[in-house]
């Protein structure tokens, strides 16, 4: 996939949050300029950086971040594939359970009142 940015991007950016790593790969940079028609006879010129791009999302302990940083070109088409979906979705499952419990706790008294 190709992606455009108004600013230069590092080859690999990593954001880790709640046990999940989000890896952004930008390689093969090309600086380009594009001209668009404007109102009337005017034209607007825009410069941008275009990259071969990939996003990889997965459990922080399962994504080979160090290797991706060293060899981003080898991961430009890589997609994390969880061999054990419940394990890969453990954080999401946990959050859903917590939210359901909170909803039940908040609405429990209302349900009891309505049941009367």
The secondary element (H helix, E strand) that includes residue 38 is: none
pTM: 0.66
Q: What is the pLDDT of residues 11-55, one digit of tens each?
A: 999 999 999 999 999 999 999 999 988 888 889 999 999 999 999
Residue 107 tokens, joined = 């609405």
| Every domain of the chain and the residues it spans | 2-81, 84-116
**What SS3 state is found at 17?**
strand
Q: Of 78, 28, 83, which Cα lies nearest the Cα of 51?
A: 28
Chain-centroid distance of CA 64 in Å reads 16
């Amino acid at each position: 996939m190709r992606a455009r940015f108004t600013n230069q991007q590092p080859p690999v950016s990593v954001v880790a949050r709640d046990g999940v790593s989000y890896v952004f790969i930008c390689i093969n940079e090309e600086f380009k300029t594009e001209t668009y028609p404007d109102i009337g006879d005017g034209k607007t010129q825009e410069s941008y950086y275009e990259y071969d791009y990939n996003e990889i999302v997965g459990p922080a302990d399962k994504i080979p971040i160090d290797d991706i940083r060293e060899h981003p070109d080898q991961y430009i088409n890589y997609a994390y594939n969880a061999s054990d979906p419940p394990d890969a979705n453990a954080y999401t499952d946990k959050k859903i359970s917590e939210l359901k419990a909170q909803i039940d706790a908040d609405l429990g008294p209302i349900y009891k009142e309505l049941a009367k």
